[in-house]
Each structure stands twice: as C-alpha cells, then as structure tokens.
Amino acid sequence: MTITLKSKVEKHAIKLPEWVQIPDGREVKVIIETEMNKEEKRMLAANLCGAWVDDPSIDSIFEEIEKERHKYPGREVDINAFA
C-alpha cells in the first residue's frame, strides 16, 4: 500500500492524520522531503545568482542557444484546411 500525504513532525515523531489506518508496530518506509520556508527559498535564490559569473564557457553556451532557437521556423499550417 502506498499513501502520499503531508504531515508534521511533533516531538521528533511524524504525526499521521486520523484517516491513516496503519496498525501500531507496522513497519513502513518513510521518504522525507521537507518544504523550504520563504527565508530558505530567498537564500537559495541569492546563492544561485551569479553562479556562472566565473565560467568562461557560458558565453559560448548562450551563443549556441541563441543560434539554435532561431533555426526552427515553426510548423507549417494550411489555412485552407479550416475553410
């Protein structure tokens, strides 16, 4: 059985909602994914800003992206097909 839900840690224990019916003593697999608060998100963004500033290859990477994005003219549409 697999159940995905959000929960909170209280006194070093994961508190399950009442509707989750798992008998005491049952072994379960727990994968913990914590959610970042606003300050943690702000710090992450601040740390990423300028991450490529000293990377000498970044200019050539973006030049290649710029060239490639202008190559595809889009798909051809037959406007008579809608008449």
pLDDT band at 82 (very low <50, low <70, confident <90, very high): confident
> Each residue of 8-39: pLDDT tens digit?
899 999 888 989 989 989 999 989 888 899 99
Nearest to 32 by CA among 4, 71, 2, 62: 4
Parse the chain into domains and list their residue ranges: 33-72
What phi and psi, each to the nearest 5 degrees, are found at residue 21?
Answer: -105, 85
Instruction: Give Dmax over CA atoms of the chain in angstroms.
Output: 69
Looking at residue 64, its pLDDT comes to 92
User: b vs e for 58-70, b when ≥16 Cβ sit within 10 Å of the residue's Cβ?
Assistant: eeeeeeeeeeeee
